[in-house]
Amino acid sequence: MEYLQQALFVLMAISAIYLFAKKVGEIRRNIFLGKALDLSDNAAIRWKNLLLLAMGQKKMFKNIPVALMHFIIYAGFIIINIEVLEIVLDGILGTHRLFLPLLGGIYNWLINIFEVLALGVLVVCVLFLARRNWLKLKRFVSKDLNGWPKTDANFILITEIILMSLFLIMNAADQLLQQNGAEHYAVTGSFSISSFLMPLFEGFSNSTLIGIERTAWWIHIAGIFAFLNYLPYSKHLHIALAFPNAYYAKLDSPGKINNMPEVQNEVLYAMQPELAPANAAPPASFGAKDVFDLSWKNLLDAYSCTECGRCTAECPANITGKLLSPRKIMMATRDRLEEVGKNINQNKSFIQDGKSLLHDYISVEELRACTTCNACVEACPVSISPLDIIVELRRSLIMEESNAPQEWNSTFSNIENNFAPWKFSPDDRDKWASEMAS
Amino acid sequence: MKINTMAEMMANGETPEILFWVGCAGSFDQRAQKITKAFATILTKVGLKFAILGKEEACTGDPARRAGNEFLFQMMAYQNIQVLNGYNIKKIVTTCPHCFNTLKNEYPELGGRYEVIHHTTLLQELINEGKIVMKEGGSFKGKKISYHDSCYLGRANDIYEAPRKVLEALDAELVEMKRCRTNGLCCGAGGAQMFKEDEPGTSRINMDRADEALETGAKFIAAACPFCNTMMSDGVKNREKESEVAVLDIAEMIAESMV
């Protein structure tokens, strides 16, 4: 019987990890559908960004109470994983509290820390759930989140509440079994949080308690494995991708728009034909129409987005009721990329589906509303740039489709012919100076 | 007051300390011309030897690039860099944060490498060096001023202090808007929005921002960008407050207050 449980556990663990690894492989493949971009420079600055922005969650601290609550979940998640290690080893080896004899007195102290953190995580998740569903914060009631994204967010919080509760229930039953001197339940000393739950199970027989303890143990670890496999389909993936995304964050001034060397060269060859190589092929396309035309960092951005909506809450266009929502830009990019990924899974390579990120997922009206003010970039706690994607899509609109509002076409022709966006004579450019002279 | 062009200076065998990049708004827009004149007056008063490109200056390409017209941007950049490199320009000051950002951040990889500073930074330096001295009891003394952060100065280039330091020299009372510095709200002009109608929405960005500025009770809204200036002025006018609240560029305030 014991061996059966161990075998079952190993089977569960292996399948969970296998499925997770497979999906991670797909996500990696999808990200690298994006265009090449060399971000291997400035390792020291990048590590610093990773430490400050991802580990230290620097940007979250613009709102200190929320940042602290978020930090509790984050720290709890990481530290409680040490306990998960013991649970996994116990599951494989058929032991119970494997680390107890190894750690002696420290063990009780450690479990106490885990329990305090578990309670912290539980309380914060309840508060976040309340905030998300009842406080009607603008960024949480936004239509961006209608349907699945809203369910996803609640599901994550509820799962964490259940997992933490199971951990505490398991420990409470364990302590009662220890008191009763049940076989296999070594004495650990009292646990600070779960001991408050013990009265709930007072007077239960040892076999009932073992049933409770084992059931909680199994659902807890099975829940963790299930949650692991839920991650890649969820906005919660940010817990992993925030780190590489901070590392690969843009280091240039935020005001700098990425250069297009292919256009730079086209202009150079037009101006100085002697520099043009004999068989220079013109670039295939300009800007981004679909996810393939974005850089892999843009696509990593899309998978890193946890849909918090801080970008949209700061976006001047969105604040004034325009259709543009930077969060939706990121969600649309991920949705399209996932669709392309599924297409590749089914057909081995991408088969044209007559759709594209531009138009089918992101409309012209949204793109036209952006003021390139960088508020969304500044607001993002995980170093995402919706602006980068917006500019790339605008480039495709203008340079591939010649799709510009009439006023912009006039602006362009004024710049080209009069060297200013307005229709003034270039000869009057220094008229103000002659006025000063007189 | 004689404003020299680079061509004139070259002809006289002279080299300016700094090139004043006026920008399209500063050159053609009637309101922004006042900012240009105020800044040129300051430079002349402090005796800084400067020149303009005059008719040889052209749009940096900022709005074209942001609208998505990279070809036009690259054409303008090529042309401007040819002119600037031709004159062997080393240092540029500009009163427009958009020109500032493009010249400083986007031209270098296209072959245009210059030391570029925004006029608020230069004004701060001149005040620190004692070259700009304020009049006793200037017209802004004790008055409430609210500074509107330009996106291309602030978030894009991390310049938040210089404009405020300059305003402090006016001995005025600086009041911040609800959203300021890194959280500052855009005036609505960037990304080539200046040159087209707003997309459909519930309000205009410049109206929202003007309301925020008016809420501070400030008598003066200080701007450091000709486009912000237009947007904020329009917002104030729309709320019929233009007789009580003035939108001024920092250079205009200094020009009015310096000895």
A145, part of any domain: yes
The Cβ of residue A197 has, within 10 Å, a number of other Cβ atoms equal to 18
Cα–Cα distance between B18 and B215 in angstroms, integer? 39
Residues A313 and A225 in one domain: no
Model confidence over A334-349: pLDDT tens digits? Answer: 999 999 999 999 999 9
Asked if the structure places residue A205 within a domain, the reply is yes
Please report residues of A whose CB lies closer than 8 A to that of B207.
320
Cα of B81 vs its chain's centroid, Å = 21
- Are A228 and A307 in the same domain? no
Residue of A nearest to B198 (CA): A369
Torsion, Cα of A393, A394, A398, A401 (10° steps): 30
Closest partner CB to A319 (pick from B26, B40, B208): B208
> Are A152 and A270 in a shared domain?
no
Q: Is residue A252 part of a domain?
A: no
Chain A residues whose CB is inside 8 A of the B2 CB are 436-437
Q: Compute the count of residue pairs across chains A and B with CB atoms less than 8 Å apart.
A: 219
Number of compact structural domains in chain A:
2
Q: Reply yes or no on whether the pLDDT at A438 is more than 80.
A: no
Residues from chain B contacting residue A429 (CB–CB below 8 Å): 22, 27-28, 54-55, 57
Report the helix count and the strand count for chain B, using DSSP H and E.
11, 8
Under 8 Å between Cβ of B93 and B117: yes
Task: Reply yes or no on whether the pLDDT at B169 is more than 90.
Answer: yes
Range A233-239, long-range pairs (CB < 8 A, 24+ positions)? A233/A23, A234/A152, A234/A155, A234/A156, A235/A149, A235/A152, A235/A153, A235/A156, A235/A305, A235/A306, A235/A307, A236/A152, A236/A156, A236/A306, A237/A27, A237/A303, A237/A304, A237/A306, A238/A304, A238/A305, A238/A306, A238/A382, A239/A74, A239/A77
Asked if B185 contacts B210 with a C-beta cutoff of 8 angstroms, the reply is no
DSSP secondary structure letters along A64-102: HHHHHHHHHHHHHHHHHHHHHHHHHHHHHHT-SSTHHHH
Q: Identify the domain containing residue A196 by its residue range.
A: 2-31+63-247
* 3-class SS of residue B155: coil
Instruction: Say whether A420 and B70 touch across the interface (CB within 8 A).
Output: no
Q: If we measure between CA atoms, which residue out of A6, A45, A16, A21 comes closest to residue A248?
A: A45
Average pLDDT value for residue range B162-191 = 97
pLDDT at B220: 98
- pLDDT, mean over chain A: 96
In sequence order, which residues have a C-beta less than 8 Å from that of residue B241 and are 6 or more positions away?
Answer: B214
Q: Is the pLDDT of residue A282 over 80?
A: no
> Which residues have a Cβ under 8 Å from the Cβ of A396 and sit 6 or more positions away?
A285, A286, A287, A288, A289, A293, A358, B68
- Give B29-53 pLDDT, tens digit per residue: 999 999 999 999 999 999 999 999 9
Q: Which residues does chain B have within 8 Å of residue A375's beta carbon, measured at their own beta carbons? A: 151, 155, 183, 185-186
Question: Quick check: B137 pLDDT over 90?
Answer: no
Q: How close, in Å, is residue A130 to chain B by CA atoms?
A: 27
Domain co-membership, A225 together with A302: no
Domain boundary among the residues A194, A223, A247 is at A247
* Cβ neighbours of A399 in B, within 8 Å: 68-71
CATH code for position A300: 1.10.1060
Note whether A273 and A352 are same-domain residues. Answer: yes
Cβ neighbours of residue A165 closer than 8 Å, sequence gap 6 or more? A122
CB burial of residue B28 (10 Å; 0-12, 13-18, 19+)? buried
Q: Indicate where chain B has its CATH 3.40.50.1860 domain(s).
A: 6-123
- Range of lowest pLDDT (A279-288, A397-406, B8-17): A279-288
Average pLDDT over residues A215-243: 97
A116: in domain: yes
Give per-residue pLDDT as tens, B211-248: 999 999 999 999 999 999 999 999 999 999 999 999 99
Alpha-carbon torsion, ordered A373, A312, A232, A39, to 10 deg: 10
Residues A199 and A95 in one domain: yes
**Residues of chain A with pLDDT > 70: what percent?**
100
Q: Is residue A237 part of a domain?
A: yes
Query: CA quadruple A91, A96, A97, A103: dihedral positive or negative?
Result: negative
Residue A354 shares a structural domain with residue A410: yes
Q: What is the mean pLDDT of residues A38-66?
A: 96
A268/A375 same-domain check: yes
Architecture label for domain B6-123: 3-Layer(aba) Sandwich (3.40)
Kindly state the helix (H) or strand (E) to which residue B144 belongs, with its residue range: strand B144-147
Distance of CA A86 to CAs A12, A83, A96, A189, A281, Å? 16, 5, 9, 18, 60
Contact between A372 and B191 using a beta-carbon 8 Å cutoff = yes
Q: How many angstroms separate the CA atoms of A242 and A236, rounded?
A: 10
Query: Residue A274: is its pLDDT beyond 90?
Result: yes
Same domain, A129 and A171: yes
- What is the pLDDT averaged over residues A25-37? 98
Q: Which residues does residue B220 pair with via DSSP β-bridges, in sequence order?
A: B145, B246
Final residue before a domain boundary, out of A247, A273, A291: A247
ipTM summary value: 0.97
Nearest partner of B55 among B7, B119, B13, judged by Cα: B7
Residue B72 contacts residue A267 (beta carbons within 8 Å) = no
Do the Cβ atoms of B154 and B184 come closer than 8 Å? yes
Q: What is the pLDDT of residue A82?
A: 86
pLDDT for residue A319 is more than 80: yes
* Cβ neighbours, 10 Å, residue A377: 22
Strand ranges (DSSP E) for A205-347? none
Say yes or no: A412 and A289 in one domain.
Answer: yes
Which candidate in A138, A253, A324, A372 is best for mutational testing of the B interface (most B CBs within 10 A)?
A: A372
Residue A431 lies inside a defined structural domain of this protein: no
Q: How many C-beta neighbours within 10 Å does residue B50 have?
A: 18
Indicate yes or no: CB of B71 within 8 angstroms of CB of A263: yes
* Interchain proximity A255–B105, CB inside 8 Å: yes
A430 found inside a domain: no
**Does CATH place domain B135-257 in 1.10.490?**
no
CA distance A213 to A204: 12
CA dist., res. B68 & res. B74, Å (int): 11
Of B192, B193, B203, Cβ closest to residue A321 = B203
Q: Which residues contact A142 (CB under 8 A, 6 or more apart)?
A: A309, A312, A325, A327
Question: Which residue is it, tokens 């302590």?
Answer: A175
A295 forms beta bridges with A35
Categorize the per-residue pLDDT at A257 as very low, low, confident or very high, splitting at 50, 70 and 90. Answer: very high
- Contact list in A for residue B64 (CB cut-off 8 A) is 411-412, 415
Rounded CA separation A225/A237 (Å): 15
Based on the fold, state whether residues A120 and A19 are members of the same structural domain.
yes
Verify that A196 and A299 share a domain, yes or no.
no
Q: What is the pLDDT of residue A1?
A: 59
In this predicted structure, the answer to whether residue A2 has a pLDDT above a threshold of 70 is no
pLDDT digits (tens, 9 = 90+) for B79-116: 999 999 999 999 999 999 999 999 999 999 999 999 99
Last residue of a domain, one of A247, A271, A300: A247
Q: What are phi and psi of B118, to 5 degrees?
A: -85, 150
